[in-house]
Amino acid sequence: MKKILIVEDNEKNRILVRDILQHFGYETIEAINGEEGIRMTQEHKPDLILMDMQMPVMDGFKAIKALRADPGTEKIKIIAVTSFSMKGDREKAIEAGADDYLSKPINTRNLIKVVRRILGEEEKGGGEER
């Protein structure tokens, strides 16, 4: 079972993403800011991180840069998640070291498609997505 770390300061968003990922068979762990996200990544070595970009204590940009600078975490896949979906935001997230980018509000079908693609999993057939 693939493990996904959700780094998100908004509890409702964290619960929504957690419930969707668990429904599709992923194990989830959670952090509420970038600093905690780095610690959880080093401790649990998830297969993927969903990183909110705007958080207190340490934002997602700084957290991604720190994870990419650490040989123990540099190869872990990261999807940047942000409510800022202005022109250039995707590029800024990718520049910071994210593998992909999702904007809020989260499109639940797209979330699973992006997660599966980043993890290298094949799409499962017929009508599984909700």
DSSP code, position 58 = S
Give 46-64 pLDDT, tens digit per residue. 999 999 988 888 989 999 9
Domains in the chain: ranges and CATH: 3-118 (3.40.50.2300)
Q: Which amino acid is at 91?
A: E
Q: What is the pLDDT of residue 91?
A: 80
Q: What is the pLDDT of residue 34?
A: 94
Paired tokens of 87: 């022109």
Helix and strand counts by DSSP (H, E) for the chain: 5, 5
117, HSE (Cβ side, Cα atoms, 13 Å):
11
Of 102, 31, 107, the closest CA to residue 67 belongs to 31
Mean pLDDT along residues 2-23: 96
Give 103-117 pLDDT, tens digit per residue. 888 888 899 999 999
What is the Rg, in whole angstroms, of the alpha carbon atoms belonging to the chain? 14
Mean pLDDT along residues 93-107: 89
Number of other residues whose CB lies within 10 A of the CB of residue 39: 11
The whole-model pTM stands at 0.89
Q: What percent of the chain has pLDDT over 90?
A: 67
